[in-house]
Amino acid sequence: MPHIYPDEGVVLKTIKLGEADRIVTLFTRGNGKVRAVAKGIRKTKSRFGARLEPFTRAELIIYKGRNLDTITQADILTSFDEIRVDYTKLRSGAAMLDLVEKITPERERAFPTYALLVGGLKALAEGRPNVVPSFLVKLLSISGYHPHLNSCAGCDDEAVLGAFSPALGGAICEACWHEAGDSIRMSSEDIALMSHLLGSDFGQPGDTRTTIAMTQALRSYAEYHLERPIKTLHALTAS
């Protein structure tokens, strides 16, 4: 019998397929990351309309296929239009979607990741501060890359922390900084805020310099483990 399943999900990205279709990458509540075809979506009179654009959270009916699933119905739950119409929010949101797409395996249910993504997009749409570094540190943690932030990741000393080492897995002290070739200089205040973001709700205040410093460190940490660059995060931290 055909396997048709209901779910809800956030559109991470879309790519063209043939003359009228698109392959839509979704992160769903019940089935994790799913790639599915939206047939006829590029036609003027498509039944999907704008329901399957990146950032959209939609209620879905999906037919499970051998390689690609097929979306048979989509209804918008949250459009997140506030992100699309603001360039700064758009770039930040694109980086969040990109990292979820790169860090998650296909068809592996991960409700904490789904809830984090929806919560992060909501906070970004509302204009809360420090959403991107907060999202990054939380996503890395629940994805198995929990950063060591309360003592030195190199020697476990509780001395003043002044850098971040992707290879060692977190913040490091002055002595370890001299030995770690990949380390990124950070102030102890920046590291303390990063630790605070990990255990706090979205919307913790911080100045632009601190936001960039945390984002750069977490970007390097994600790239170290994924073994590939994340261009959308580079764009956020470029001076």
Establish if 27 belongs to a structural domain: yes
Torsion, Cα 71 102 119 220, to 10 degrees, reads -170
pLDDT at 2: 57
Pick from 79, 66, 24: nearest CA to 46 = 24
Q: What are the two backbone dihedrals, phi and then psi, of residue 189, each rounded to the nearest 5 degrees? A: -70, -40
The last residue of a domain, from among 60, 81, 102? 81
| Shared-domain flag, residues 44 and 139 | no
Establish if 157 belongs to a structural domain: yes
Establish if 220 belongs to a structural domain: yes
| Residue-wise DSSP of 5-43 | EEEEEEEEEEEEETTTEEEEEEEETTTEEEEEEETTTTS
- How many C-beta atoms surround the C-beta of residue 75 within 10 A? 11
| Shared-domain flag, residues 71 and 134 | no
pTM: 0.94
Output the tens digit of pLDDT for each of the chain's 239 residues: 459 999 999 999 999 998 999 999 999 999 999 999 999 998 877 888 889 999 999 999 999 988 899 999 999 999 999 999 999 999 999 999 999 999 999 999 999 999 999 999 999 999 999 999 999 999 999 999 999 999 999 999 988 999 999 999 999 999 999 888 889 999 999 999 999 999 999 999 989 999 999 999 999 999 999 999 999 999 998 75
Domain containing 203 equals 128-237
Pick from 5, 50, 14, 3: nearest CA to 32 = 5
Kindly give the residue spans of alpha helices, DSSP state H, lying in the chain: 81-84, 87-103, 111-125, 131-142, 174-177, 188-198, 208-226, 231-237
Instruction: Indicate the average pLDDT of the chain.
Output: 94
Give the gyration radius of the chain's Cα atoms: 19
Establish if 90 belongs to a structural domain: no
CATH classification at residue 43 = 2.40.50.140
Q: Is 16 exposed, middle or buried (0-12, 13-18, 19+ CB in 10 A)?
A: exposed
Pick from 80, 75, 77, 76: nearest CA to 122 = 80
Instruction: Give the three-state DSSP class for 47.
Output: coil
Task: Tell me how many domains the chain contains.
Answer: 2
Establish if 96 belongs to a structural domain: no
DSSP 148: B
| Shared-domain flag, residues 146 and 217 | yes
| Shared-domain flag, residues 63 and 134 | no
Establish if 104 belongs to a structural domain: no
d(CA 40, CA 34) in angstroms, rounded, equals 19
The last residue of a domain, from among 81, 108, 139? 81
| Shared-domain flag, residues 135 and 223 | yes
pLDDT at 1: 42
Longest dimension (CA), the chain: 64
Establish if 118 belongs to a structural domain: no
The last residue of a domain, from among 56, 81, 106? 81
pLDDT at 22: 94
